[in-house]
């Protein structure tokens, strides 16, 4: 993804203390995205293992909830 010139210009106007805060926030966002991706991958990987448990006639009544 190419750099956003307007964003870069705004960043260049910030004092170093604020840049450190921005960097921390960007790190937080990236870590959160990675955590969410890992959660989605783990959920998708576990679906086949639970399919037999979830798909049974006894629990069909819960499908309508």
Q: What is the mean pLDDT of residues 39-61?
A: 84
Assess contact for 22 and 14: CB atoms under 8 A.
Answer: yes
- pLDDT at 50 (0 to 100): 83
The verdict on residue 3 lying in a domain is: no
Q: How many domains does the chain fold into?
A: 1
pLDDT digits (tens, 9 = 90+) for 5-47: 999 999 999 999 999 999 999 999 999 999 999 999 999 998 8
* Verdict on whether the full-model pTM lies above 0.95: no
Asked if the structure places residue 25 within a domain, the reply is yes
> Within a domain: residue 50?
no
Nearest to 27 by CA among 15, 17, 35: 35
Residue 35 in domain: yes
5 within a domain of the structure (yes/no): no
**Residue 34: domain span:** 14-40
The answer to whether the CB of 54 falls within 8 A of the CB of 46 is no
Q: Is residue 34 part of a domain?
A: yes
């Amino acid at each position: 993804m190419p750099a956003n010139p307007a964003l870069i210009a705004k960043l260049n106007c910030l004092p170093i203390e604020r840049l450190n805060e921005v960097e921390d926030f960007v790190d937080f966002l990236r870590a959160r995205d990675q955590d969410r991706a890992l959660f989605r991958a783990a959920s998708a990987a576990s679906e086949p293992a639970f399919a037999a448990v979830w798909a049974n006639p006894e629990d069909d009544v819960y499908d309508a909830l």
